[in-house]
Structure 1
Amino acid sequence: GGGRGTNLLLIFAQTRFVEEPEDQTVVAGQRIVLSCVVLNYSGIVQWTKDGLALGMGQGLKAWPRYRIVGTADSGQYNLEITDAELSDDAVYECQATEAALRSRRARLTVLIPPEDPTIDGAPEILLRAGTPYNLTCRARSAKPAATIVWYRDGLQQDGAVTSTVLADGKRETTTSQLGINPTDLDIGRVFSCRSVNDAIPAGKETFVKLNVHHPPTVTLSIQPQTVQEGERVVFTCMATANPEIKGYRWAKGGVVIEEAKENKYETQVDYSFFTEPVSCEVHNDIGSTNVSTLVDVHFAPRIVVDPKPTTTDIGSDVTLTCVWSGNPPLTLTWTKKESNMVLSNSNQLYLKSVTQADAGQYVCKAIVPRIGVGEREVTLFVNGPPIISSEAVQYAARGDRGKVECFIGSTPPPDRIAWAWKENILEAGTLERYTVERTNTGSGVLSTLTINNVMDADFQTRYNCTAWNSFGPGTAIIQLDEKGTGGLGRLGPLRELPGFGGR
């Protein structure tokens, strides 16, 4: 053959990555494989973690959970990590050192579930009613930080959350506080706290049970609810308390009832139970609770404010006051004695610009329907000039001792009284056959003109009685008639009739 040369074509195929590691997220305890496949390469392949070489072959022994897996002939240098933990959380790179090739950087994120959540004071917390309290739940050492959710009887509640980063700079402890204001209704109530993060999406839950100390809760009832005076009633004091009830104390109108020591008190009631409440006080180690009630006692009118006799001047305004109590509610009337005309239906009778005709006795009357009646009388005195309330015609028998009377019942009493007839004037003492005397009776002043040995001429005379006080004079003209004439003239024989005297 000819001297042909053989051309050797040497093809240096380029070294390159077929597979490079990718970012991965893993839960602590799981296994991961980071991929690294190199083509056309026969040199050393090594991994770096956060920039530090992990070593080759025997050198990898420092990392007992790490190994290179795959077929080297096929260029597979995958890094397997078993039982992942926080220290594996880093950036990894695969390097073909002799070809000066580096893979892309891959971040391995290791998720760590929180430790089992804990509630401070669990499993049972003792609280005091009315004293606010913060329930505290902690989810420790989680990556990422856990979220905490509270539940009260299965209903979600919002707490106040704070997180703190641990010394490793990666894990966090989360604390959530749920404010509550406990009441006696919270005894035995269960709150739960659930912590969740990406490592444990289903979460973990823990519980706490409340025990609440509170002063007694009390209700007071009466049986029967409506009674007549003199009937018996039973008061019942129903109470719950935590801790237990230590005792009962009963009082009426603030005065302790010594004989009542239990949760029931039976007694006979009178009108006073309508205005003086019966109270039951229950105590335990936490405190005491006092509840009270009035009794619907039906009773006849009882005077509360007695009307007072009143003296006033003519022309002034007057208020008379009379207060009754009764149950059921009473009706009240003011009348003037001897009259049925109702002047007022309230506690007060108001008389405007009084005259002497308004003087007299007034009646204040209270009625409790079907139960009873009460009434009071009161006198109104109206100061003015004297009013003479004597008969205009008076009688005497001839030959007897006769009397002409002048009575003044008005106020103020007269300072002086004078009698005048014919040309005589006499205030007191004796003049010939005539004597004047003044007497004070319970209801006024009586001036009497006594005539000794009554004669015909005495019947022809008009007697003027004038009385004075600081308001002025009052006058009456009185005529003396012969007793027993019956207005038919003076018949002789009738003279012998015995004298009757008086006005």
Structure 2
Amino acid sequence: MTTLKMFFVLFLMAFTLKASAVQQFAKQPASIQVVIGLERVVLECVITDKIGELIWLKDGQILGSDLDPGLSGVPRYSIIGDISIGEFNLQIEDVVLADDGHYECQVLAGTQGETTLRSSPLAKLTVIRPPISVSVDNSPTLSAVEGKAISLTCRGLQGNPPAQITWYRDEQVVGGAAAYSTEVSPNDASGKLHDAKSVLTITPTLNDDAAIYVCHVINDALNEPYKAIIDLDVQYAPVVSIEISHEIIKENMLVTFNCVATGNPNAMSYAWYRNDVIMSGATEAQLERTMSKNDNGVTFKCVAMNAVDSREATVTLNVHFAPFFTTYPEDISVDYGEQAIIECAADGNPKPTIKWTRLGSRATLSTMNRLQFDNVKDGDVGIYMCTATVTGFGAEAHYARVDINGIPIIESKDVQCVEPGDTAQIDCFTDTKPDPMMIEWNWNDGEEHLETGSAFERFSAQKSTTKHGVRSILYIEETSDEDFRAYNCTIWNEKGSSWLIITLTPCEMDMIIFIIIGVVSSSVFILVAAVMVIICFKRRYNRRKKLTLNEEEEVDDDEDDEKKSVEIIKRLSDYDLTKEEKERKYREYNNYKNSPESTRSSHDRYAVPTKIMRKRWNSWDSYDRPPSRGARQNYGSYSRRHNDYVDPEYLPYRGRSRHDCAERPRTLPRYRDDDKIRNADYQRYSEYRNNKYNKRDDKLKEREWIKKREDDVESGRKAEPDDVSKHSTESTHGNLATDV
């Protein structure tokens, strides 16, 4: 019972509260932005204690009510939500630009007289859209001229909301006033799309050439901005500079000037100026010039021109040059004890240093332009040198002489000569200061006189002034004996006069010429003698060398061959020859002897060991012994013959092409104990051997010898020397020698 009472009380209370509740908004629609083309957007509307009908309106126009949640009259629109909790949300599918507007949720009054509910403020549905086109006028490259203002225009078309535009240069925001404006797109019937424009005005400079300007365009529909780029091509006048090939420029140096110019456009012309005076022919970017000291401090200018304008660059030269004197030191002559001043001045680059010295001394007297003597004395007389020096160049020097005024002193020779018939030149010189006023010549005891600068007949006097003094020369043409006499030279100056007697004589050969001739003659004689001695020793040396070489060649044969010596000995005679062989040899000899000398060999043709020959001499008789053309010699009881003929094959040939066979006197005994006798014999032997004209006419003896040999052959007689076999057995190869 108690439970039923409580349930009844609660039911009554709920009914009472419901009957007294008022409908109201739990959540009203809120403004929202959506991107065009979004699939779905929802505008929320929640009502508590809803009693009346709920209506959705757009821009004041009814879309539909909760009685028709599908909103059949409006495609893509519908009312969704949980009605039990009062949700009556407006859903829009496939959002288009036409959906942009103000939306309102209303609840009509109920049956019990409730008021109509309206959402406030109105919910603004904004359909945003990015610009369909972003561009910069005159892109991608805009030509401009330096110093002339240009405008850069960036456009963002048909965007909602209107696009915001920002300018960048080399990734940096461009400050300044860029004109920004928007307008409704003329091609949009809805009037919801806008065109944005930004105009940036700049004055291009040289630094703007090839600069990149970027236009950033963005609105709420974009996460990243759209970009449009424009590149500036700024045409500007040339930027000019001058480059010089040498850092330090010196006089007489070839220097190259380069005019370096950059500009837009690049086509340029050039002109060069020297101290604002145009240089003809200098129309290239490079200029070559040999420097002189006159170019120091000069301004060279290069003017480069293109289509925009012309520009110039200048350079002022600092030319180093050698010193040169602008004021030369001059000779000075003062009275004894007076003041003397010598001055010099020099120019150069860098500035030259001045130094005064006395000729012959290294001591520096002054480094100023002026050298001053307060009280001139005899010791001050001399030549002084002013030297100007510039680093990197040679020194320049000039001289001045300091003299003391006095009576002229004549310094010429008192005896002068000339060749008879030539023009005589009699010299009269003085270096005394002050300079002479007059110089006069007289001769023949003063009867003849001639002033310098005048002439008569064959005589004339001429004056010449040099830095070192004054000279007067008396010329006498076609000198004769009567002109060789004494001449008086008299000189006057401000201090007085002096004279000198000069004797003119015929010139004789100077002793020095004799000495030179003697030395040259002696040198020539010694040279010729030395050459002759060298030639003689050279010939003698070659002759001995040839003899030695031929003997050594034969000695070097095989030492162990004893049979060779025996065969050589046997070949010295005709024992083993037949009659036919002997006749053939005689014919060969006659043919050889009658042949012209030019066809005969100049080499050793018949080489026979000398030692073997010497051993045979004492053993052969007068018939078999190898003879030579010489006189008979007697050695005690043994008689040697030297006039017998021998076949050339068996004779040692001496190498003389003008002889048929060797000529060798057999005067040397085989053994001698006395060295002096042996040397004397060898001397006589050498003298005879070297005499190429020692030939004898022995035709008769040759015929007798030939007849005798033929008779012996026919009779079968053979001469066999007793010592042949003995010599053959005793001889060794070591005893062989070549008789050259």
Same fold (TM over 0.5): yes
**Partners of 2:307 and 2:244 in 1: CA distance:** 27
Q: Structure 1 residue 207: deviation in Å?
A: 0.8
Q: Structure 1 residue 180: deviation in Å?
A: 6.0
**Partners of 1:155 and 1:143 in 2: CA distance:** 27
Query: Which among 35, 39, 55 is matched to residue 46 of structure 1?
Result: 55
Deviations 1:373-400 (A, max 9, x none): 457999xxxxxxxxxx977x99xxxxxx
Distance 1:254 1:302, change over 3 A: farther
Structure 2: segments with no counterpart, 5+ residues? 1-10, 111-115, 185-190, 331-342, 377-383, 409-432, 438-488, 499-740
Cross-structure match for 1:342: 366
Q: Which amino acid counterpart does residue 233 of structure 1 have in structure 2?
A: V
Distance 1:308 1:46, change over 3 A: farther
Secondary structure in 2 aligned to 1:272? helix
Cross-structure match for 2:77: 67
Query: Which among 200, 204, 209 is matched to residue 177 of structure 1?
Result: 200
Distance 1:67 1:332, change over 3 A: same
Contact 1:116 1:204 (8 Å CA) reproduced? no
Contact 1:159 1:179 (8 Å CA) reproduced? no
Distance 1:375 1:308, change over 3 A: closer
Q: Does 1:78 align with 2:89?
A: yes
Query: Which among 18, 21, 44 is matched to residue 35 of structure 1?
Result: 44
Q: Which amino acid counterpart does residue 175 of structure 1 have in structure 2?
A: S
Please report the TM-score for the alignment, with normalisation by the length of structure 2: 0.40
Query: Which among 103, 106, 118 is matched to residue 95 of structure 1?
Result: 106
Q: Which amino acid counterpart does residue 118 of structure 2 have in structure 1?
A: R
Q: Which amino acid counterpart does residue 22 of structure 1 have in structure 2?
A: A
Q: Structure 1 residue 95: deviation in Å?
A: 0.8
Contact 1:283 1:289 (8 Å CA) reproduced? yes
Q: Structure 1 residue 213: deviation in Å?
A: 0.8
Secondary structure in 1 aligned to 2:294? helix
Q: Does 1:248 align with 2:303?
A: no
**Partners of 1:205 and 1:65 in 2: CA distance:** 38
Structure 1: segments with no counterpart, 5+ residues? 1-6, 310-319, 379-388, 395-441, 447-497
Secondary structure in 2 aligned to 1:201? coil
**Partners of 2:327 and 2:150 in 1: CA distance:** 58
Please report the TM-score for the alignment, with normalisation by the length of structure 1: 0.56
Deviations 1:145-171 (A, max 9, x none): 654443333344435355445467996
Cross-structure match for 1:105: 121
Contact 2:58 2:101 (8 Å CA) reproduced? no
Where do residues 66-465 of structure 1 align in structure 2 (5 Å cutoff)? Answer: 67-70=77-80, 77-81=88-92, 82-85=94-97, 88-90=100-102, 92-99=103-110, 100-108=116-124, 110=126, 111-114=128-131, 116-131=133-148, 135-139=152-156, 146-164=163-181, 166=183, 173=196, 175=198, 177=200, 179=202, 181-183=204-206, 185-294=207-316, 297-302=319-324, 324-326=347-349, 329-333=350-354, 341-342=365-366, 344=368, 366-373=388-395
**Partners of 2:269 and 2:168 in 1: CA distance:** 38
Q: Structure 1 residue 88: deviation in Å?
A: 2.0
**Partners of 2:240 and 2:303 in 1: CA distance:** 8
Q: Structure 1 residue 280: deviation in Å?
A: 2.8
Question: Which stretch shifts more, 225-234 or 211-220?
Answer: 225-234
**Partners of 2:230 and 2:222 in 1: CA distance:** 22
**Partners of 1:266 and 1:229 in 2: CA distance:** 14
Contact 1:144 1:172 (8 Å CA) reproduced? no
Distance 1:77 1:443, change over 3 A: farther
Contact 2:81 2:89 (8 Å CA) reproduced? no
Q: Does 1:21 align with 2:29?
A: yes
Distance 1:83 1:55, change over 3 A: closer
Q: Structure 1 residue 209: deviation in Å?
A: 0.9
Higher relative contact order (CA 8 A, sep 6+): 1
Q: Structure 1 residue 242: deviation in Å?
A: 1.4
Distance 1:322 1:366, change over 3 A: same
Q: Which amino acid counterpart does residue 83 of structure 1 have in structure 2?
A: V
Secondary structure in 2 aligned to 1:202? coil
**Partners of 2:157 and 2:399 in 1: CA distance:** 88
Q: Structure 1 residue 114: deviation in Å?
A: 4.8
Deviations 1:228-251 (A, max 9, x none): 433433333333321122322233
Q: Structure 1 residue 258: deviation in Å?
A: 2.9
Q: Which amino acid counterpart does residue 309 of structure 2 have in structure 1?
A: G
Superposed CA RMSD: 5.3
Q: Structure 1 residue 132: deviation in Å?
A: 5.6
Secondary structure in 1 aligned to 2:223? strand
Q: Structure 1 residue 275: deviation in Å?
A: 2.7
Q: Structure 1 residue 105: deviation in Å?
A: 2.8
Distance 1:180 1:376, change over 3 A: farther
Distance 1:64 1:202, change over 3 A: farther
- Higher share in strand: 1
- Higher share in helix: 2
Q: Which amino acid counterpart does residue 24 of structure 1 have in structure 2?
A: I
Q: Structure 1 residue 17: deviation in Å?
A: 4.2
Question: Which stretch shifts more, 142-151 or 273-282?
Answer: 142-151
Q: What number of residue pairs does the alignment pair up?
A: 370
**Partners of 1:371 and 1:186 in 2: CA distance:** 51
Distance 1:63 1:286, change over 3 A: farther
Deviations 1:173-232 (A, max 9, x none): 46363746431x543332212133333231111111111211223333233444543343
**Partners of 1:192 and 1:63 in 2: CA distance:** 49
Distance 1:244 1:128, change over 3 A: same
Question: Which stretch shifts more, 237-246 or 225-234?
Answer: 225-234
